């Protein structure tokens, strides 16, 4: 984990942690705060570990991802068209 003093508010976990050059270096995960506020020691998962994990998870599904996205797109389009058609005379 990366230890940071960046403020992590409730709801910020999962947000990006960037360095002074604006490069993504981690994903905010948790904060240890003795007072319960957003002041304390924050922790982030390094971005290279996230990429490695995502590639490992996605690899078996690679051939289906295109089809899945196409199905979602068609479903979304049909839903929109149906909503427009239902309200028209």
Q: At 82, which CATH number?
A: 2.40.10.10
Per-residue model confidence as pLDDT tens digits over 15-73? 899 999 999 999 998 888 877 777 788 899 999 999 888 888 888 888 888 888 999 99
Question: What phi and psi values does residue 45 have, to the nearest 5 degrees?
Answer: -85, 130
DSSP summary character for residue 60: G
What pLDDT band is residue 89 in, cutting at 50, 70 and 90?
low
Task: Report the pLDDT averaged over residues 12-17.
Answer: 83
User: What is the domain extent for residue 52?
Assistant: 2-87
The residue written with tokens 């051939």 in the block is 63
What pLDDT band is residue 86 in, cutting at 50, 70 and 90?
low
As for how many domains the chain has, the answer is 1
Which residues in the chain belong to E strands, given as ranges? 2-4, 16-18, 24-32, 41-46
Question: What phi and psi values does residue 38 have, to the nearest 5 degrees?
Answer: -90, 25
Within 10 A of 61 (CB to CB), how many other CB atoms are there?
9
């Amino acid at each position: 984990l990366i230890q940071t003093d960046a403020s992590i508010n409730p709801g910020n976990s999962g947000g990006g942690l960037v360095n002074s050059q604006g490069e993504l270096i981690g994903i905010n995960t948790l904060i240890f705060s003795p007072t319960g506020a957003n002041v304390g020691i924050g922790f982030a998962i390094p971005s290279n570990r996230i990429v490695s994990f995502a590639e490992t998870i996605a690899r078996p599904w690679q051939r289906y991802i295109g089809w899945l996205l196409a199905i979602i797109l068609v479903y979304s389009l049909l839903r929109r068209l149906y909503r427009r058609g239902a309200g028209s005379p």
